[in-house]
Amino acid sequence: MATLIALETARFGVPQWLWTIGFIIVKIAVVLAGVMLHVAYATYFERKVIGRMQNRLGPMIVGPYGLLQPIADGIKSFFKEDIIPTNADKPIFFMAPVLGLMAALSSLAVVPFFNGFVIANINIGLLFLFAMSSLAVYGVILGGWSSNSKFSFLGSLRASAQVISYEVPLGLSLVGVMMMAGSLNITEIVNAQSRYPGGMYIIAQWLGFFVFVVSAIAETNRSPFDLPEAEQELIAGFFTEYSGMRFALFFMAEYTGMIIMSSIAVLCFLGGWTIPPFVLKLLPFLGVVPGIVWFIMKLYVCIFFYYWIRSTLPRYRYDQLMAIGWKVLIPLSLANIVITAVLKILLHHAGTP
């Protein structure tokens, strides 16, 4: 900061550091607007996909093909009455949805959408993402606790146990990627993938990718691991007592969480905004397509996968959920770490990196 102020050179009478700050704020606004739009249309996409899979049309009334449905939903929830339970712990009740959405949105700060476009290019990007994804559970826990209702309470108890259990394999599954890239900086990881002959770490890290996908679904409380909000048992789980805009905040936090998890998958396993070098050699005209297009295409493949799983698999039982997390995923991810480390040392000694 001190050096920034010392370097100030006036441009249009505005000092340089003000330009820097202004540029960052514009970047944040662009990212937030873009992601919120994608969140809105992810809900539309979900209803369409699940509708088609169940032989229905999905939303069709509002706008052509129901395209304005997410906007109508947003306006509706904004103007709905905000109901607060009598015995709720009010400050925490107000804070919980905001906390959840805040944790989800602040993860966006370190996600590079295409080459060079990232709000904060920090060296510990991946760790920052873990930290923020582990904070997202606070919104759920506090929301359920402060509602003073048994359904909410049970939902948040389930959520906390689930998220603690699945955070461990989530972190461990990415250790293999960190070892292969030799860095925690996400831009570095993507660049290392484009140097790697396969072009995507999913080829070498398929075991890690499997563990990551399962624990990412559990971490974002999506079906088949949506125990915290199991409709048939708990009405709506932790947000039973929420209505109107506060409910919409929880909803947005969930979908932002899905987008974050999908973008981690894209960046760490699917090559981010790059395409594998052998594909580029085969079809050189693909090089003119901008990176953001590849990124968004891969992102939507991952999000489609979420919906596909949701409409295909029934919900797991609670003890099955815990057994999968602790007895299957953690040993698998530990095995993946050991295999990756041994292979890296062997290949390093053989001469090829």
Provide the binding-site residues for another protein, judged by CB under 8 A: 1-2, 89, 92, 122-124, 127-128, 130-131, 134-135, 137-138, 141-142, 145, 153, 156-157, 160-161, 163-164, 167, 171, 184
Whose Cβ is closer to another protein: residue 3's or residue 55's?
3
Whose Cβ is closer to another protein: residue 181's or residue 275's?
181
Whose Cβ is closer to another protein: residue 197's or residue 353's?
353
Least distance in Å: CB of 152 to another protein? 11
Whose Cβ is closer to another protein: residue 44's or residue 238's?
238
Q: Is the peptide bond before 59 cis (omega within 30 degrees of 0)?
A: no
Least distance in Å: CB of 134 to another protein? 3
Q: What are phi and psi of 109, to 5 degrees?
A: -60, -30
- Reduced to 3 states (helix: H, G, I; strand: E, B; else coil), residue 276 is coil
Whose Cβ is closer to another protein: residue 203's or residue 338's?
338
Count of all residues that appear for the chain in the document: 353
**CA separation for the pair 239, 30 (Å, rounded):** 30
Least distance in Å: CB of 179 to another protein? 11
Least distance in Å: CB of 96 to another protein? 11
**CA separation for the pair 251, 47 (Å, rounded):** 14
Whose Cβ is closer to another protein: residue 134's or residue 243's?
134
Per-residue tokens: 154: 């049970």
**CA separation for the pair 37, 230 (Å, rounded):** 27
**CA separation for the pair 163, 328 (Å, rounded):** 16
Q: Cα dist. 227→94, 154, 165, 223, 306 in Å? A: 24, 10, 13, 8, 16
Per-residue tokens: 314: 């029934």
Least distance in Å: CB of 49 to another protein? 32
Least distance in Å: CB of 70 to another protein? 31
Least distance in Å: CB of 330 to another protein? 13
**CA separation for the pair 39, 159 (Å, rounded):** 22
Q: Decide if 221 contacts 140 (C-beta within 8 A).
A: yes
Distance from the Cα of residue 183 to its chain's centroid: 20
Whose Cβ is closer to another protein: residue 123's or residue 312's?
123
**CA separation for the pair 126, 21 (Å, rounded):** 24
